[in-house]
Amino acid sequence: MFTVIILPIAKRDIQEAALWYNKRKKGLGKKFTASIRQKMNLLKTHPFSTSIRYDEIRTAVLDIFPYMIHYSVDEPQKMILISAVLHTSRNPDIWKEDRRESDG
């Protein structure tokens, strides 16, 4: 089984989306985070079940919500590194730009 590490910026993605869903309907943000956890649990045992989308980044689509978990796999370390959780309508190039700006 692999260990999942969520980068702080990906945690912020999750929190922002959960807050947005809670504003729409009470409790919906909790369902969103539960959906994230469910997908991460699946990735722990099946980290290569998704295709590489760009560079070495794989994406896993949530079952109910229109979001993708962007992650890489470090097979020797048995680690999954989650770098973003983004709405499916967002362009990954925008994601890369956003991440570079927050690093510096």
pLDDT tens digits for range 65-99: 999 999 999 999 999 999 999 988 766 565 555 55
Q: Domain range for residue 63?
A: 3-103
Please give the residue that has the higher pLDDT: either 101 or 44. 44
What Cα–Cα distance (Å) separates residue 99 from each residue in 8, 26, 66, 83, 90? 11, 30, 21, 9, 14
pLDDT at position 104 is: 42
Q: How is residue 74 written in tokens?
A: 């470090």
**Three-state SS for 91?**
coil
Residue 91 is predicted with a pLDDT of 60
The CA-atom distances, in angstroms, between 51 and each of 25, 40, 42, 44, 71 are 33, 15, 15, 15, 11
Kindly state the tokens that stand for 16: 């922002």
pLDDT band, very low/low/confident/very high, at 14 (cuts 50, 70, 90): very high
As given in the structure block, the two tokens for residue 89 are 């309508």
Q: How many domains does the chain have?
A: 1
Give the tokens for residue 10: 């990906």
Report the pLDDT value the prediction gives residue 100, as an integer from 0 to 100.
Answer: 47
Q: What would the pLDDT profile of 25-61 be if each residue is shown by its tens digit?
A: 999 999 999 999 999 999 999 999 999 988 899 999 9
Sign of CA dihedral 92, 65, 19, 10: negative
pTM: 0.84
**CATH number for the domain that contains residue 49:** 3.30.2310.20
